[in-house]
Structure 1
């Protein structure tokens, strides 16, 4: 178990093509000079086609308190992204997911938080389905809402400051959630 806990604190560093080149402790990664690393974003849809959005916990190091997609995360060294999505969905939201599908396989972004912390990620975007409401981990999510995808798109484009930068960039690329 100690080795799993140790790995849980590492991210996968990647080169410009997305190939793994090493690992680094997660706690050292997000600063003013964040190295390019592997991540993922996931949108969760309910049976009616509503998309789950979450408001990041106020204790998050980057973009605290902003609204974002359902959840994000980093695969552990040696962990597949679908397995990482399952792990993070359970940890952050208490949800079991179905039909996990990649919808933006080549999404990449770099953004700077108001505190100067940089995100620099190759971050494929996925969509999944789930039944029932999440039971958020308060260290990750302070609140959530199920919203119509078209309403989310309009809100993000009209009020970009209220949302995470990756959500704004993803909304510009997504035509639908394809689930």
Structure 2
């Protein structure tokens, strides 16, 4: 089993208040346990969004396109700190100031693995130009810059190609006006 599956996550109530902790593995077993997560969306100066295709070895929604990076803070860890760490680990992206633009709750089962995402998801955005410098193939299969309107059309046309939380991430970003 992937060692990340043994990391601790913070269980939360529907209002986001901490109520306990468990492992990533346990939190994602059906029917899922509501836990804190984050989704980062990096935006280029011309307004494009950096997406990643999740690696084939991911235990949930492998090879689906998602926002720039996702993860779970450890219990008590600041969401922005955890998100900055994951940007470095997954993509080699450093020193990007992140701003939280919203939170949403979603629950989705992965038909391929039987695992369940049930997350209180903090959406963070940051400005970034260039390309990731060190993509970790155990996390990311590919990256791509996409125009927001093209992504909206693609999500509606072929939702099965995308992680089930991506539409919520894009909605939170658009609603923020950033």
Fold shared, TM-score > 0.5 on shorter chain:
yes
Find the counterpart in structure 1 of residue 108 from structure 2: 111
Going from structure 1 to structure 2, the CA distance change for 1:14 and 1:84 (only over 3 Å counts) comes to same
CA distance in 1, matches of 2:30, 2:159: 22
Find the counterpart in structure 2 of residue 120 from structure 1: 118
Show structure 2 runs of 5+ residues with no match. Answer: none
Q: What is the DSSP-based 3-state SS (H/G/I as helix, E as strand, rest coil) of the residue aligned with 1:61?
A: coil
Going from structure 1 to structure 2, the CA distance change for 1:95 and 1:112 (only over 3 Å counts) comes to same
Partners of 1:42 and 1:69 within 8 A in 2: yes
CA distance in 1, matches of 2:135, 2:176: 22
Q: What is the DSSP-based 3-state SS (H/G/I as helix, E as strand, rest coil) of the residue aligned with 1:60?
A: coil
How many pairs are equivalent? 173
Going from structure 1 to structure 2, the CA distance change for 1:178 and 1:90 (only over 3 Å counts) comes to farther
TM-superposition CA deviations, 1:75-118 (whole Å, max 9, x none): 112210110110010011110143311222x3110011103211
1:79 is aligned to 2:72 = no
Partners of 1:12 and 1:77 within 8 A in 2: yes
1:1-179 aligned at under 5 Å gives the runs 9-104=7-102, 106-114=103-111, 115-134=113-132, 135-172=134-171, 174-175=173-174, 178-179=177-178
Show structure 1 runs of 5+ residues with no match. Answer: none
CA distance in 1, matches of 2:128, 2:73: 21
TM-score by length of 2: 0.88
Partners of 1:38 and 1:121 within 8 A in 2: yes
TM-score by length of 1: 0.88
Partners of 1:97 and 1:129 within 8 A in 2: no
**Per-residue deviation, 1:174:** 4.6
Q: What is the DSSP-based 3-state SS (H/G/I as helix, E as strand, rest coil) of the residue aligned with 1:39?
A: strand
